[in-house]
Amino acid sequence: MITPITDIKLFKEKALQWASSFGTFCYLDSNNFPDPYSKFDVLIAIGAKKELATNSGNAFKQLAEFRKAYPGWMIGFLGYDLKNEVEDLTSKNIDQLEFPDLYFFSPQYLLLIRDNRAEVITDEQFELSWIENQQINEPTAQPALNLQSRFSKDEYILAANKIKEHISRGDIYVTNFCQEFFAENAVIDPFATFKKLNTISPNPFAGFLKWKGNYMLSASPERFLANRGNKLISQPIKGTAKRGKTPEEDDLIKQQLRNHTKELQENVMIVDLVRNDLTKSAKQGTVKTEELFGIHTFSQLHQMISTVVCEVEDDVSDIEAIKNTFPMGSMTGAPKISSMKLMEEFERSKRGVYSGALGYFSPDGDFDFNVVIRTLLYNSAKEYLSFHVGSAITYHADAEQEYEECLLKAKAILQALGQQIV
């Protein structure tokens, strides 16, 4: 069933509110960003006919079996700590969220919005009036949050400088050092908070996932990996700059980012890492960099994004292609394994879903997953709220500037939570 929609913004809001009444749903929104690889403007998967929740060990094998059993639309996430299954690694840091390392579901209803039309995909009875008759609820006042950090500014700077010592010794070249901000006894309205976050920071890989009282509210600007036909696409982000106050200042900042030695250095190192990861799935000689050092502008930030592609070998499955590149290089560092081992020592909390991926598999064999960054995670049963931010540490990195970059990346989430300072 395909239906023209006159007011897309209102329809999306009503559809999201209707979906949020279910125990499980996922909302993926491109926020109208132009993207040659996007298949839709909005995807809303509602209700779980079947689901898979598991932890690192043989999670990718279970996912492959689940995918074989349910070859239609499938939506879910991969947590960062699946690294322990891909490589000989461990995760021993504190984890208060207690999310699974992997969660996917086969939806009861699926809505695709594209070109001002809504397409409903379901085997069950469905009436569009269920959405159109929704009355938008007004957000209620929320108790104040006591937001804390695992690092003080001084502690972060000290740790970043110690990481630079490892770089000077040649242990690694670049890494992504992350810190957690969290609130205990936290009560929020996830629906209202996501709407606010997606208004403040509309990004091309935004997502809102709910299952069993757990929530993921994502304003991600980054694609981890997509498949289109026999083509894999990865678009790592490395390089960040604030927005200017005037168009002239904005242009100057973009030019400075485009010529910034440290930002160019970290971007090209991660591009090389991604190229290497893709060769595990690629037909020989097909790995290419379609765009290098592209400067892309978002509401909160300028980002340096590169695009790396390849043709997939015929005998490589979707799950294998994802596993061969997981976790994404932009969130690990280079060399990849050494960087992940080192960050396990320096970071003070388990990353969990952060630095993982949220996305979908479609019936035609395509898939698309974001990088879970700029994302708020919430366990409503435990009343525990969490988000991580990270920054790339290289030989040329200034530790204090990297700390400020973390706060810049946290800005939209802080605003959505009504927090001015941390």
Helices 399-416/190-200 angle, 10° precision: 120
Tell me which residue range forms the domain holding 250: 2-129+148-416
Long-range contacts at 403-409 (CB < 8 A, ≥ 24 apart): 403/153, 403/156, 403/157, 403/160, 405/240, 406/156, 406/179, 408/240, 408/242, 408/300, 408/301, 409/240, 409/301, 409/373, 409/374
Q: Is residue 138 part of a domain?
A: no
Tell me whether the omega of the peptide bond preceding residue 204 falls within 30 degrees of 0, making it cis. Answer: no
- The pLDDT value recorded for residue 142 is 81
Q: In the predicted model, is pLDDT for residue 106 greater than 60?
A: yes
Contact 406, 179 (CB under 8 A): yes
pLDDT band at 128 (very low <50, low <70, confident <90, very high): confident
Q: Is residue 421 part of a domain?
A: no
The tokens for 265 are: 């250095």
Average pLDDT, the chain: 95
- Rounded to an integer, what distance in angstroms lies between the CA atom of residue 334 and that of residue 210? 33
Residue position matching structure tokens 């009504």? 418
- The pLDDT value recorded for residue 1 is 72
- The pLDDT value recorded for residue 320 is 97
- Rounded to an integer, what distance in angstroms lies between the CA atom of residue 299 and that of residue 289? 26
Q: The domain spanning residue 123 has which CATH number?
A: 3.60.120.10
pLDDT band at 190 (very low <50, low <70, confident <90, very high): very high
pLDDT band at 141 (very low <50, low <70, confident <90, very high): confident
pLDDT tens across 217-243, in order?
999 999 999 999 999 999 999 989 999
Q: Is residue 95 part of a domain?
A: yes
Burial class (CB in 10 A: 0-12, 13-18, 19+), 170: exposed
Burial class (CB in 10 A: 0-12, 13-18, 19+), 420: exposed
Q: Is residue 308 part of a domain?
A: yes
Q: What is the mean pLDDT of residues 189-203?
A: 95
- Rounded to an integer, what distance in angstroms lies between the CA atom of residue 118 and that of residue 18? 15
Q: In the predicted model, is pLDDT for residue 92 greater than 60?
A: yes
The tokens for 257 are: 């980012």
Q: In the predicted model, is pLDDT for residue 422 greater than 80?
A: no
Q: Is residue 137 part of a domain?
A: no
Q: What is the mean pLDDT of residues 279-299?
A: 95
User: Which string of b and e fits 81-108 if b means at least 16 CB within 10 Å?
Assistant: bbbbbbeeeebebeebbebbbbbbbbbb
Q: Is residue 143 part of a domain?
A: no
Q: In the predicted model, is pLDDT for residue 420 greater than 70?
A: no
The tokens for 268 are: 């090209």
Beta-ladder partners of 120 = 111
How many domains is the chain partitioned into structurally?
1
pTM of the model: 0.95
Residue position matching structure tokens 């590149």? 325
What is the DSSP track for 244-293?
PSSHHHHHHHHHHHHT-HHHHHHHHHHHHHHHHHHHTTBPTT--EEEEEE
- Rounded to an integer, what distance in angstroms lies between the CA atom of residue 375 and that of residue 217? 5
Strand 237-242 to 301-311 pairing: antiparallel
Q: In the predicted model, is pLDDT for residue 408 greater than 80?
A: yes
Q: Is residue 134 part of a domain?
A: no
Q: Is residue 352 part of a domain?
A: yes
Q: In the predicted model, is pLDDT for residue 421 greater than 80?
A: no
Backbone angles phi, psi at 275, to 5 degrees: -60, -45
